[in-house]
Amino acid sequence: MLDGARILVVEDEFLVAALLEDVLRGFGCDVVGPAATVEEALALLDTEEIDAAVLDVNIAGTPVFPVADALTERDLPLVFATAYGAAGVAQRHSGRAVLDKPYHARALEHALRSALQTRRRP
């Protein structure tokens, strides 16, 4: 299910983004980004095909929720990654998967598989 999935990565910490890219590629995913700002992520959503996303909640001091809203409008699954836990996620996105940083690759894999399974297909 993850093989060939195009995963948008929104993460402002370079080393975290690089490690996440490596893990996702190890799962067989194609990485879109990483985007280090909300604006960059929104631009990628307008220009790239995306199957799902992994979003850091706090991007350079800016909440990532405009990106989460855009993904939701497009009916695309997402996983939040945050050191704040579920309490750091906006109420309107409270049903989404949340990975507590630092997280293990297996937890990420499980969260992405679950998110992609629940995606409604046309």
Q: Please write the tens of the pLDDT for every residue from 18-37.
A: 999 999 999 999 999 999 99
Structure tokens at 100: 């507590």
Task: Kindly report, residue by residue over 88-100, the tens digit of the pLDDT.
Answer: 787 888 889 899 9
Domain boundaries, the chain: 6-103
The Cα 74–Cα 19 span in angstroms is: 27
Q: What is the mean pLDDT of residues 35-47?
A: 97
pLDDT computed for residue 122 by the predictor: 46
CATH classification code of 6-103: 3.40.50.2300
pLDDT computed for residue 32 by the predictor: 98
Contact (Cβ atoms closer than 8 angstroms) between residue 28 and residue 18: no
Structure tokens at 91: 């109420």
Q: Is 48 helix (H, G, I), strand (E, B) or coil?
A: coil
